[in-house]
Each structure stands twice: as structure tokens, then as C-alpha cells.
């Protein structure tokens, strides 16, 4: 007699559940769907092609409650060289969300890294008009479907000494390009939550301070800033407690927070590559700390917790080093033990 398979165990648990109404997955110590474990939206970065795959689309729909286009809602996809706008992929992602009841989160309208030729070729008032047209067209297209937007992404200098220079700041003004982007997004969608998003806010307290001062300046200028995104791209060298300190300080403004792009690299640590058990133990601890820090926020400040990809192989980090295993699902889209770690930290 062959030993029971995992699939067989789950099938028998489901059958048992039908008779005895026990929680099938947890009866076997299997993680329940992540969105069932979290009392707040849990998101995942996706590409349209992944959602078109029945297996991947099924896992995304069953595990998550929010979608962030990983790159297909950015200027690099939408803005063609002649200035035309293309929406095939973001429309497909939005349609998947509508079909499966997942929230759509727009990422991102304005980013220093995205400077399309069509904008570079504009000058004077045509530049400002093009900027307004872009934000109005993109936000307006998903009005009523996008729950929120990263309106401005990564505005703060890495050392915390001011804000990054970019095409947008050069053409419209260092602060004005950000204030105006929020104003234009609100005009296009009166209900969407409009966020400011940045990274390394755990690693760099000085950057975090400047980020918070920018948020306060936007609010003082009347910008409809409705939330703060902390990307949370981590490596296993991050000191315990740094995530908690960052979440606590970012929450001090009282705005909703979005852990917007979480992954924990095993190989990008400043020290020796930590692919062994020590690295994996630190990775588990960081995921648990982030989940615990987030769930201890007041419910009104828990916008969402988003993971930056489904499978390890989908991660931008795997495109840097294929040995990395930064996410919650393995290359076959099965839950890794990290999923149970996150759920345990959520109190499930
Ligand atoms: O899939 C196409 C492929 O068909 C095409 O042949 C190829 C050549 O152009 O491009 C491929 O798309 C690439 C896409 O990643 C999918 O791999 C894009 O060029 C590439 O620009 C895109 O990179 C994304 C990057 O942002 C820039 O948009 C990464 O996936 C994405 O993970 C990364 O995400 C950023 C966040 O937006 C902001 N925070 C940091 C984070 C990581 O860098």
C-alpha cells in the first residue's frame, strides 16, 4: 500500500470536512488561503501573461484579494514612442480582478525611473498638458475599479538629503510635479486612495524622515494624499526590529499604510550569501515581523500588504540571481513554509 500523497490527504480532509465541518486545510496543518488569514487586503504583483495561465490565475484568485501590475501599468508599457497610450495588458489585469473579485491597485503614475521619449520630446506648456493628459487618461480609465494608486514612486534621495532630480522635477518643479500629480489623479477619480510610495524606509531612518516630511508638506499644500506605501524589499541582513520601527514611525501621521512590494532576498545581504538555514531563519523572522507589525496597526491604517510576485521564479530578484527564493510560493506555485509563517504571525 502506497503512503498517502499530499493531494490524497487534502482530498480526504475535504471529504471529512464535508461530513464533519472541520477546517480542511488547517486540519492538516496546511496554510489556509492567505486572504482568509488576513483581516486586511493581501496583494500580489502580477503580469497579464501570468493571469492568463489557468494554474497561476487560480492560485492568485484563491490566495489574494488585490492585484498590483508589476510593470504593465507604468509609463514604460503604456506610453508608446509616438505618445499614443496602450492599455491591453493593464485592461486584462483589471478584467481578471473584476471577474474574480480582487481589488486593483494602480502602480505607478509618476516615477523618476520612467522618462518616456514621448515626454522628453515635449517642452513648455505642451509638457504640462501631456502630463495632465497622461494622469487623467490612466486614472480615469480605471475609475471605480482601481482602489488606489501609487501616484508618485520613490521621490526621496537615498541619503535622505532632499528629493530625487528627474525629468518631472526639472520640467515642472521639484515639489510641484508631485503636488500636481495628486491633484490630477483626484480630479480623475474622486474615490481612489492616493499614495506616496518609497523603499529602504526600514534600512535608512534619514530617508524615512525625509519621506514623512514630504508627506506632511503635500498634506499642508492641500494634496489629497490618502496613504503611504513602504515597499519593503528586504534582505536577510536587516536588523530585527527595523521593520517594526519603520511601520510605527510611518503610522505616526495617521494615514493608511501599504506594505506595497514585500520580498525578502536570501542572496542580496551585504554579508555572505545566506542560502543556508541561518539565512532562511532570518527570512522567516523578517516576514513574521512585517506581518505582526502590520496587523498591530489600527484597522483603519491597514490599507494592504502586497507581495512582489507569486512564485520565486516570477521575482525581479530571480532575474538578478536565479538562486534567490524571496517569495511565498515555490516555482510550482505551491505554498512554501513562509506562507504558514506569515499566517502564524497574523494570529491564524
Ligand atoms: O516581459 C517583457 C518582454 O516580453 C520583453 O521582451 C522585455 C524587453 O523589453 O521586457 C519584458 O518586460 C520587462 C518586465 O520587467 C518583465 O520582466 C520590462 O522590460 C522591465 O522594465 C520590467 O521591470 C520591472 C521594473 O520594476 C521596471 O518597471 C520589474 O518587473 C519590476 O519588478 C520592478 O518593480 C519595481 C517597482 O515598480 C518599484 N519598486 C522597485 C521594484 C523592483 O525594481
Per-residue pLDDT of the chain (348 residues; tens, 9 = 90+): 444 454 554 444 444 444 444 444 555 566 799 999 999 999 999 999 999 999 999 999 999 999 999 999 999 999 999 999 999 999 999 999 999 999 999 999 999 999 999 999 998 899 999 999 999 999 999 999 999 999 999 999 999 999 999 999 999 999 999 999 999 999 999 999 999 999 999 999 999 999 999 999 999 999 999 999 999 999 999 999 999 999 999 999 999 999 999 999 999 887 665 568 899 999 999 999 999 999 999 999 999 999 999 999 999 999 999 999 999 999 999 999 999 999 999 986
CA of 68 relative to ligand 1 center, distance in Å: 13
The answer to whether 179 and 188 are in contact (CB under 8 A) is: no
Q: Give the nearest ligand 1 atom to 49 CA.
A: 1
DSSP code string of 166-235: -HHHHHH-TTHHHHHHHHHHHHH-SSSEEEEEES-TTT-HHHHHHHHHHHHHHHHTT----EEEE--EEE
CA-nearest residue, atom 28 of ligand 1: 71
Ligand 1 pocket: which residues have CB below 6 Å? Answer: 70-71, 74, 76, 153, 199, 231, 261, 316
CA of 56 relative to ligand 1 center, distance in Å: 19
Q: Give the nearest ligand 1 atom to 74 CA.
A: 28
Q: Is the sign of the CA dihedral 209, 256, 155, 244 positive or negative?
A: positive
Provide the CA 23 distance to its chain's centre, in angstroms: 29
Q: Alpha-carbon distance 153 to 330, whole Å? A: 29
CA-nearest residue, atom 27 of ligand 1: 71
Does 154 participate in catalysis according to the annotation? yes
**Domain architecture of the chain: domains with CATH:** 13-346 (3.20.20.80)
Active-site entry in 183, 261, 274, 325? 261
CA of 329 relative to ligand 1 center, distance in Å: 20
Amino acid at each position: 500500500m502506497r503512503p498517502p500523497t499530499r493531494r490524497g490527504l487534502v482530498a480526504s480532509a475535504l471529504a471529512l470536512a464535508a461530513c464533519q465541518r472541520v477546517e480542511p486545510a488547517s486540519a492538516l496543518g496546511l496554510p489556509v488561503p492567505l486572504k482568509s488569514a488576513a483581516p486586511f487586503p493581501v496583494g500580489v504583483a502580477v503580469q497579464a501573461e501570468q493571469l492568463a495561465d489557468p494554474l497561476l490565475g487560480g492560485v492568485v484568485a484563491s490566495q489574494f484579494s488585490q492585484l498590483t501590475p508589476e510593470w504593465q501599468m507604468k509609463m514604460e508599457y503604456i506610453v508608446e514612442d509616438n505618445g499614443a497610450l496602450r492599455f491591453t495588458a493593464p485592461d486584462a489585469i483589471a478584467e481578471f480582478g473584476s471577474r474574480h473579485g480582487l481589488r486593483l491597485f494602480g502602480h505607478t503614475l509618476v516615477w523618476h525611473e520612467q522618462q518616456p521619449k514621448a515626454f522628453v520630446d515635449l517642452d513648455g506648456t505642451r509638457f504640462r498638458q501631456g502630463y495632465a493628459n497622461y494622469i487623467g487618461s490612466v486614472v480615469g480609465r480605471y475609475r471605480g475599479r482601481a482602489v488606489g494608486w501609487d501616484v508618485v514612486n520613490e521621490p526621496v534621495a537615498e541619503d535622505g538629503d532632499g528629493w530625487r532630480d528627474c525629468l518631472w522635477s526639472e520640467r515642472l518643479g521639484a515639489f510641484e510635479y508631485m503636488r500636481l500629480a495628486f491633484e490630477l489623479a483626484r480630479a480623475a477619480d474622486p474615490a481612489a486612495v492616493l499614495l506616496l510610495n518609497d523603499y529602504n524606509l526600514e534600512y535608512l531612518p534619514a530617508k524615512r524622515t525625509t519621506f514623512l516630511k514630504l508627506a506632511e508638506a503635500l498634506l499642508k499644500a492641500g494634496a489629497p494624499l490618502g496613504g503611504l506605501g513602504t515597499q519593503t524589499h528586504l534582505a536577510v541582513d536587516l536588523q530585527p526590529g527595523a521593520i517594526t520601527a519603520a511601520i510605527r514611525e510611518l503610522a505616526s501621521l495617521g494615514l493608511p499604510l501599504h506594505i506595497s512590494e514585500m520580498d525578502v532576498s536570501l542572496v542580496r545581504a551585504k554579508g555572505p550569501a545566506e542560502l543556508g538555514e541561518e539565512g532562511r531563519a532570518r527570512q522567516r523572522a523578517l516576514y513574521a515581523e512585517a506581518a505582526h507589525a502590520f496587523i498591530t496597526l489600527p484597522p483603519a491604517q491597514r490599507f494592504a500588504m502586497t507581495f512582489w510576485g507569486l512564485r520565486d521564479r516570477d521575482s525581479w530578484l530571480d532575474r538578478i540571481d536565479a538562486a534567490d527564493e524571496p517569495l511565498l510560493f515555490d516555482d510550482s506555485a505551491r505554498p512554501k513554509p513562509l506562507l504558514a509563517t506569515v499566517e502564524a504571525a497574523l494570529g491564524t
